[in-house]
Amino acid sequence: MLSLPSARAARPEAPVTARVLAANTASVRVLERLDLELVWRGASGSAPTSPDDTTHLERLIFADRALDDDTLDAVIALG
């Protein structure tokens, strides 16, 4: 079973990140219990471009450390 400590031990230079829809309060609570910090809140798109597009929904990004701008932009771009 993988764990947060295992991830940190395997690649200590790599941040641990997690994305969640803001309305998913149960998942938000899990990430908070893992001691991940909220580093970004917003939507990566302003309006849906297709029926399956969810980029307009508010998302939260959590991380175990501060993220540099390039890394944060890359995680935001994941939608």
Q: Where are the domains of the chain?
A: 4-77
Residue pair 61/18 in contact by the 8 Å Cβ criterion: yes
Q: For residue 2, what pLDDT is reported?
A: 61
What would the pLDDT profile of 25-52 be if each residue is shown by its tens digit? 999 999 999 989 999 999 987 888 888 8
Distance of alpha carbon 60 from alpha carbon 76, whole angstroms: 9
Classify 21 as helix, strand or coil: strand
For the cut 60, the answer to whether the pLDDT of residue 1 exceeds it is: no
Single pTM value for the model: 0.87
